[in-house]
Amino acid sequence: MTLGIIIQARMGSTRLPGKVLRDISGKPLLEHVLGRLQMLKRPARVVVATSSASENDVVEAWCLEHGVSCFRGDEADVLDRYFQCAKSLGMSDIVRLTADNPFTDIEELERLIDLHQRQGFDYTHAFGQLPIGVGAEIFTFEALSRSHREGKLPHHREHVNEYFTDRPELFKIGQLDVPPAKISPNLRLTVDTEEDWRRACALAARGVGTGSGQKKQSDYVRLLHRKFTCTRHGASVSVVDARHRTAFTRSSGPIFSERSSEFVENHPRARL
């Protein structure tokens, strides 16, 4: 069994161009994402998956310079990019991360992987309770292959997980329960706008980020509650231009998804 972690990254963000290599406290955003993964206790094959577009040559060059595996695939068909990357590296279970989330909760990622493998889920996620940009998801190669083979709609190709959530009856889906101290779905810890970038810089300056001296996840959740706010409408979180993104909802039945003009749950952008 080969655990893989695929970080999708591209330079062509519409709201914050070039953000994956933008500086945060002296290091590019992508380096913060990779640095957090050094705290993962289990062995895993980590690879950055960017597209073959020429603007992403700089992403590949940065990876090569820093000894990071880099895979290049289709720009628009992100599902195919994941499938081809996982297939070429022989991954049996794949964690999906994005290069604009520098504050992934590694402790919860460990628990997510444990839950996924112990319960034999096809797809397992930690969205809906943690701050936006902190959760993660994992799926088997078999589930990814089925999505790649059967997911024909445009949003299935652009968003890696949407065939799972559109057709939950075909997959065994799990959701991680999060400790109460970390439940803060109204807080943003992703980097998608200038405001997000300034917030990330402020947090990094306070010791939140990579390295052994970083604050615990629950510590910076409390810090964010004191220092930062997020626009809310009822129980949802307002996110700019969040069309065609997946909203995970906990119910008494299976996990389901819906596309909405408001991204109400903690799920990272798919087109990176």
**What are the tens digits of pLDDT across the range 47-67?**
999 999 999 999 999 999 999
pLDDT band at 217; cut points 50, 70, 90: low
Structural domain of 122: 3-259
Whether 238 is in a domain gets the answer yes
Q: Which pLDDT belongs to residue 244?
A: 31
pLDDT band at 209; cut points 50, 70, 90: low
Counted domains in the chain: 1
Whether 96 is in a domain gets the answer yes
Query: Residue 204 above 70 pLDDT?
Result: yes
Rounded average pLDDT over 160-186: 95
Query: Residue 165 above 90 pLDDT?
Result: yes
Whether 37 is in a domain gets the answer yes
Under DSSP, the state recorded for 132 is B
Query: Residue 242 above 70 pLDDT?
Result: no
Whether 125 is in a domain gets the answer yes
9-45 pLDDT, tens digit per residue, is 999 988 899 999 999 999 999 999 999 999 999 999 9
Cα angle: 50, vertex 54, 59; to 5 degrees:
40
pLDDT band at 206; cut points 50, 70, 90: confident
Rounded average pLDDT over 184-188: 91
Query: Residue 127 above 70 pLDDT?
Result: yes
- Sequence-ordered alpha helix ranges (H) in the chain: 29-37, 57-65, 78-89, 106-119, 141-150, 154-158, 162-166, 194-205, 217-227
Whether 8 is in a domain gets the answer yes
Give pTM, 2 decimals.
Answer: 0.82
pLDDT band at 220; cut points 50, 70, 90: low
Whether 146 is in a domain gets the answer yes
Q: Which pLDDT belongs to residue 260?
A: 27
Residue that wins the pLDDT comparison between 56 and 247: 56
Q: Give 6-66 as a DSSP string.
A: EEE--S--SSSTTGGG-EETTEEHHHHHHHHHTT--S--EEEEEEESSGGGHHHHHHHHHT
Rounded average pLDDT over 215-235: 49
How far from 6 is each of 43, 137, 204, CA to CA, in Å? 14, 11, 24
The CATH number of whichever domain residue 235 belongs to comes to: 3.90.550.10
Whether 270 is in a domain gets the answer no
Share of the chain above pLDDT 70, in %: 76
Q: Which pLDDT belongs to residue 1?
A: 79
Whether 180 is in a domain gets the answer yes
Q: Which pLDDT belongs to residue 20?
A: 97
